[in-house]
């Protein structure tokens, strides 16, 4: 019999976990999800009514204004649901959520408007204390946390974040590796209550294919308890079966499929359309003040009933110009 030997913990991030880890609960939840090839197509509103609750931990993919589930985000804002805990990666969705004051706790990696500078919506909510808890991570760390969840394991070791305040303000722990005896950071698995991912094409069952970079769709889709997909095109399952190597998200992960052409607008979609630069620049100006952002939210979200009314407002002509 070996003696009870403990592995030294050298450092622990100060923050408690925003989202607890329950490996067997996740397995049991996944067991209950249907494995039948049923039709999962519904509207944005139906999906949010059915799957999203106040206080849920929600996640978005991809990033910035690239392949963003914007039609779902606008519907989430209109729903009035609130007090969300979020993964702070994926920028434009969060700008709208900050404006609507829907966010309480953030696993924070990077929130900014990239070349257009800092996000004033984020600053207003964080600096005022409307956001009550912020836990820091790096981009790779957040994605590796999804990877751990997707593996069904409680944590994953990494050589990122070591020695920094980023680690001090996280929930990571630094231990002595039992194999190499070097210090290594352990990242806790990150499970998402409801995930939102926008894809190029999917069938009615939720088999999804993505063009261009896949960002962290593979990892996050497998870390979600409930996964809502919006897609530019609904294709026959036969078309999925012709190129099964392109399927990033298989149907059994997916709870709802929403047909949302131009669903990433004003962002871009690989091989399909470009970012609407004049609109985005207008948003950048509006978001600099609370009043400006309120106007933007009224005009582009609250005064519209659904994604189709947004598409009508933007107009066929403009969307054609953006189409590649």
Partner 1 sequence: MTQQYSPSELLICLASRVMEDGTTAFIGTGIPMLAASLAQAMHAPNLVPIFEFGGTGAILEKLPLAVGDMRTYNKALAASGICDVMETAQRGFVEFGFLGGAQIDKYGNLNSTVIGNHAHPKVRLPGSGGANDVGSACWRTIAIMIHDKRRFMEKIDFITTPGFLSGPGAREEAGLPRGTGPYRVVTNLCVMGYDDITKCMKLLSLNPGVTIEKVIESSGFELLFAENITHNEPPTDGELRILREKVDPDGLYR
**Rounded distance between C-alpha atoms, residue 135 and residue 106, angstroms:** 6
**CB nearer partner 1, residue 144 or residue 251:** 144
Instruction: Count Cβ atoms within 10 A of the Cβ of residue 270 and give its class: 0-12 exposed, 13-18 middle, 19 or more buried.
Output: middle
Beta bridge partners of 136: 108
- Determine, following the binding rule CB under 8 A, whether residue 185 of this chain makes contact with partner 1: yes
- Determine, following the binding rule CB under 8 A, whether residue 183 of this chain makes contact with partner 1: yes
Closest CB 210 distance from partner 1, rounded Å: 9
Closest CB 43 distance from partner 1, rounded Å: 28
Among 1, 80, 165, 238, binds partner 1 (CB under 8 A): 165
Closest CB 221 distance from partner 1, rounded Å: 11
Contact letters for partner 1, residues 2-41 (x by CB under 8 A)? ----------------------------------------
Q: Please state the separation of Cα 285 from the chain's center in Å.
A: 25
Total residues at interface with partner 1 (CB under 8 A): 59
For residue 254, whether the previous peptide bond is cis, meaning omega lies within 30 degrees of 0, is no
Closest CA to 269 of 215, 194, 227, 207: 215
For residue 249, whether the previous peptide bond is cis, meaning omega lies within 30 degrees of 0, is no
Report residue 30 as tokens. 């996944």
- For every residue of 105-118, DSSP letters joined together read EEEES--B-GGG-B
List binders of partner 1 among 193-212 (CB under 8 A).
212
Region from 97-105, 160-168, 252-260, 305-313 binding partner 1, contact rule CB under 8 A: 160-168
- Determine, following the binding rule CB under 8 A, whether residue 88 of this chain makes contact with partner 1: yes
Closest CA to 173 of 191, 155, 190: 155
What value, to the nearest 5°, has the Cα angle with vertex 230 and ends 227 and 231?
130
- Determine, following the binding rule CB under 8 A, whether residue 304 of this chain makes contact with partner 1: no
CA quadruple 316, 317, 318, 322: dihedral sign: positive
Among 22, 43, 104, 140, binds partner 1 (CB under 8 A): 140
Among 12, 22, 83, 162, binds partner 1 (CB under 8 A): 162
**Rounded distance between C-alpha atoms, residue 4 and residue 277, angstroms:** 61
- Determine, following the binding rule CB under 8 A, whether residue 253 of this chain makes contact with partner 1: no
- Determine, following the binding rule CB under 8 A, whether residue 101 of this chain makes contact with partner 1: no
List of residues contacting partner 1 (CB under 8 A)? 62-67, 88, 108-112, 114-115, 118-119, 122-123, 126-127, 129, 134, 136-141, 143-144, 147, 158-166, 169, 174, 182-185, 212-219, 268, 270-271, 274-275
């Amino acid at each position: 019999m070996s003696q009870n030997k403990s592995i030294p913990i050298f450092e622990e991030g100060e923050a408690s976990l925003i989202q607890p880890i329950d490996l067997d609960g996740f397995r049991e939840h996944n067991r209950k999800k249907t494995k039948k090839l049923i039709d999962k197509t519904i509207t944005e509103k139906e999906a949010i009514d059915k799957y999203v609750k106040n206080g849920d931990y929600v996640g978005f993919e991809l990033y910035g204004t690239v392949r963003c589930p914007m039609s779902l985000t606008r519907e989430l804002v209109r729903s009035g649901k609130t007090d969300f805990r979020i993964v702070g990666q994926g920028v434009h969705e969060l700008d709208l959520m900050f404006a609507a004051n829907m966010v309480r706790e953030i696993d924070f990696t990077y929130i900014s408007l990239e070349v257009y500078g800092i996000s004033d919506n984020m600053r207003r909510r964080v600096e005022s204390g409307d956001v009550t808890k912020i836990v820091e991570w790096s981009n790779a760390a957040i994605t590796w946390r999804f990877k751990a969840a997707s593996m069904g394991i409680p944590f994953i070791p990494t050589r990122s974040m070591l020695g920094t305040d980023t680690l001090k303000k996280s929930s990571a722990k630094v231990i002595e590796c039992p194999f190499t005896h070097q210090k290594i950071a352990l990242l806790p698995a990150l499970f998402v209550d409801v995930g939102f991912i926008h894809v190029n094409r999917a069938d009615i069952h939720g088999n999804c294919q993505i063009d261009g970079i896949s960002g962290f769709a593979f990892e996050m889709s497998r870390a979600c308890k409930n996964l809502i997909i919006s897609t530019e095109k609904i294709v026959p399952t036969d078309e999925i079966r012709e190129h099964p190597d392109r399927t990033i998200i298989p149907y059994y992960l997916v709870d709802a499929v929403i047909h949302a052409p131009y669903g990433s607008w004003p962002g871009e979609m690989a091989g399909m359309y470009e970012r609407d630069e004049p609109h985005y620049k207008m948003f950048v100006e509006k978001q600099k003040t609370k009043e400006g952002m309120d106007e933007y939210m009224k005009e582009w979200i609250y005064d519209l009933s659904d994604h189709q009314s947004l598409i009508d407002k933007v107009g066929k002509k403009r969307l054609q110009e953006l189409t590649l």
